[in-house]
Amino acid sequence: MKKVLKIEIAVCVAIGALIGVGFYTFDYAKGLSYLSNDPKACMNCHVMRENYDAWTKSSHHKAATCNDCHIPHEFPRKYLIKARNGWNHSKAFTLQNFPEPIRITKPNLQELQNNCIHCHDTMVSGIVGHDWKKDAKNPPRCTTCHRSVGHMNLD
């Protein structure tokens, strides 16, 4: 009986330690800030400072936050993509295996394109409805011509 009790106590201590480390890490990484719509949350990582500064100089600074452009607007996709990006960013920054300057991923580039069309639908509906070649490797994107709209002077 004593052996079972010791094992139960050890398991409880291990689980408690894991939960404690998890909460500490979440707090240290300012995890709650990522649930907000505040663009300063993106600056929690030093590599995003340049992107944040470029956004403050852009034409969209007063019209759109990071989430407006980079995250889907509809529930639950918004939080699923935020969770995926949070996991990917946490892993990359912990392991220090990300390119500098940081670059947008293909799935996030598609979200960006979708959000450009969503916000500017009445203006671009004729362009978006155009029948582009289905085998095109690089279909035209809003950011091809309007690169500095969201992040002024970023290459």
Lowest mean pLDDT among 14-23, 68-77, 81-90: 81-90
> CB–CB of 69/112 below 8 Å?
yes
pTM exceeds cut of 0.75: no
Distances (CA, A) of 131 to 19, 48, 60, 135: 52, 36, 29, 11
Q: What percent of the chain has pLDDT over 90?
A: 25
- Return the pLDDT at 71: 93
Is the pLDDT confidence value at 25 over 90? Answer: no
- Return the pLDDT at 141: 83
Mean pLDDT in residue range 1-16:
90
Is the pLDDT confidence value at 74 over 60? Answer: yes
Question: Which amino acid, residue 68?
Answer: D
**What pLDDT, in 10s, does the model give residues 114-141?**
899 889 988 887 776 665 555 456 667 8
**What pLDDT, in 10s, does the model give residues 77-95?**
998 998 898 888 888 888 8
